[in-house]
Amino acid sequence: MAQERAWLTGGRVYMQVADRLRERIASGVYAPGEVLPSEAALCREFGIARNTVRRGLAILEEEGLIVTVPSKGRIVTAASVLSPDAPYSYQRIAGELRERIQSGELAVGAALPSELTLRQRFAASRNTVRQALAVLEREGLVVAEQGRGRFVKGETS
């Protein structure tokens, strides 16, 4: 399939790459199990440098939409069959943990599940899990303690 040239310009071009490829995955242009075009092909298509393409692809990998398989390339994952309206993986993880905290299932001072546990439960990458935990930390629901883990944060006054 020949792609027409779709030059990207402006700031944060790598985000535009991720957005375009995410749309193609969501619409079925690239189906689960299919190999994405090579970095070189994407560079030609978008008229950008290889490092910019790599940064865009890294975002999709962090979101769990693609995986890199040595000697094969980047392959669309089964997790990508989410509807286009579905939130990103990190948002789903953060949402579930937020719900558990707000319902009291995870009480003040309680340890959150480990990164490994969350990775296995959600079939997510380490970066995706860390992104979800960072959201909860920014919201003030969770605090990280060096060498101990993450805990539900209590009221501070």
DSSP 142: E
Answer for the pair 16, 57: CB distance below 8 angstroms, yes or no.
no
The rounded distance, in Å, linking the Cα atoms of 20 and 145 is: 38
The rounded distance, in Å, linking the Cα atoms of 24 and 32 is: 11
pLDDT of residue 80: 58
Beta bridge partners of 152: 142
pLDDT of residue 9: 60
In order along its 157 residues, the chain shows pLDDT tens digits of 444 556 666 668 898 999 899 888 887 888 888 899 999 999 999 999 999 999 999 989 888 888 888 888 899 886 655 444 456 778 888 888 998 998 889 999 999 999 988 888 877 788 888 888 988 998 899 999 988 999 999 764 3
Domain 89-152: which topology? Arc Repressor Mutant, subunit A (1.10.10)
Smallest CA-to-CA distance from 56 within 4, 13, 10 is with: 13
pLDDT of residue 11: 65
- The whole-model pTM stands at 0.50
pLDDT of residue 156: 47
Whether 89-152 and 13-81 are alike in CATH topology: the answer is yes
CATH hierarchy code of domain 13-81: 1.10.10.10
The rounded distance, in Å, linking the Cα atoms of 49 and 9 is: 12
Smallest CA-to-CA distance from 13 within 66, 44, 54 is with: 54
pLDDT of residue 2: 45
pLDDT of residue 74: 93
pLDDT of residue 6: 61
Q: What does the domain layout of the chain look like in residue ranges? A: 13-81, 89-152
